[in-house]
């Protein structure tokens, strides 16, 4: 059995810089941090569903037996507020509205998931990319701790920045 949901990326003509920009700004599915996390968890024996359309917000990685799921949030699209999520200087009003809508939708999806009894781990892109990134093995270890501790209802993993613990395996504020 191999990990599902992969697509080969033939005809890729972007420079690494362009590709990285595309990944952070455009793609909301199958982003690099998401692939890293699900492959590592798969290698550790975890099995899951991807992009479950039946659940609010179409969560990225779903563990039905554990009633748990992992959302990999791109910092820009989900308006994290970290250094990877600066609002573009042009068409500022458009982007502010767009990102505000995205945040509101995330918040509704989280409430719905929680009401339906799901445990939710949010892994922000900056946990694995950019200047605040953490050791990937530590991030995967933290994902595994979340999966194995049913008392953890909500948890957050994000990049290091001042005033932020980075890895909070308890309710987010």
* Binding residues vs Zn ion (CB under 5 A): 75, 80, 82, 84, 124, 126
Provide the minimum distance between the beta carbon of 24 and Zn ion in the complex, in angstroms, as a whole number: 10
The smaller minimum CB distance to Zn ion, of residues 42 and 160, is found at 160
Provide the minimum distance between the beta carbon of 115 and Zn ion in the complex, in angstroms, as a whole number: 26
Question: Angle at the Cα of 172 (from 158 to 163), degrees rounded to 5?
Answer: 55
Provide the minimum distance between the beta carbon of 2 and Zn ion in the complex, in angstroms, as a whole number: 30
As given in the structure block, the two tokens for residue 66 are 């554990």
The smaller minimum CB distance to Zn ion, of residues 48 and 167, is found at 167
Greatest Cα-to-Cα distance within the chain, rounded to the nearest angstrom: 47
The smaller minimum CB distance to Zn ion, of residues 49 and 161, is found at 161
Tell me the C-alpha distance between 99 and 120, whole Å. Answer: 21
Provide the minimum distance between the beta carbon of 10 and Zn ion in the complex, in angstroms, as a whole number: 30
Query: Could you tell me which of 76, 3, 64 has the C-alpha nearest to residue 35?
Result: 3
**Packing angle of the helix pair 136-147, 32-43 (nearest 10 deg):** 60
The smaller minimum CB distance to Zn ion, of residues 75 and 110, is found at 75
C-beta separation of 40 from 140 below 8 A: yes
């Amino acid at each position: 059995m191999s990990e599902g949901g992969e697509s080969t990326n033939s005809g890729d003509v972007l420079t690494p810089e362009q590709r990285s920009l595309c990944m952070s700004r455009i793609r909301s599915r199958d982003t690099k941090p998401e692939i890293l996390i699900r492959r590592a968890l798969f290698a550790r024996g975890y099995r899951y569903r991807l992009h479950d359309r039946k659940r609010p917000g179409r969560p990225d990685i779903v563990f039905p037996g554990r009633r748990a799921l992992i959302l990999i949030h791109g910092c820009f699209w989900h308006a994290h507020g970290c250094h990877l999520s600066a609002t573009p200087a042009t068409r500022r009003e458009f982007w502010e509205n767009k990102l505000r809508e995205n945040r509101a939708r995330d918040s509704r999806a989280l409430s719905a998931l929680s009401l339906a009894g799901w445990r939710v781990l949010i892994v922000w892109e900056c946990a694995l990319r950019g200047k605040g990134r953490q050791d990937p093995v530590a991030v995967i270890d933290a994902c595994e701790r979340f999966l194995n501790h049913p008392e953890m209802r909500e948890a957050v993993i994000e990049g290091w920045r001042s005033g932020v613990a980075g890895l909070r395996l308890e309710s987010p504020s």
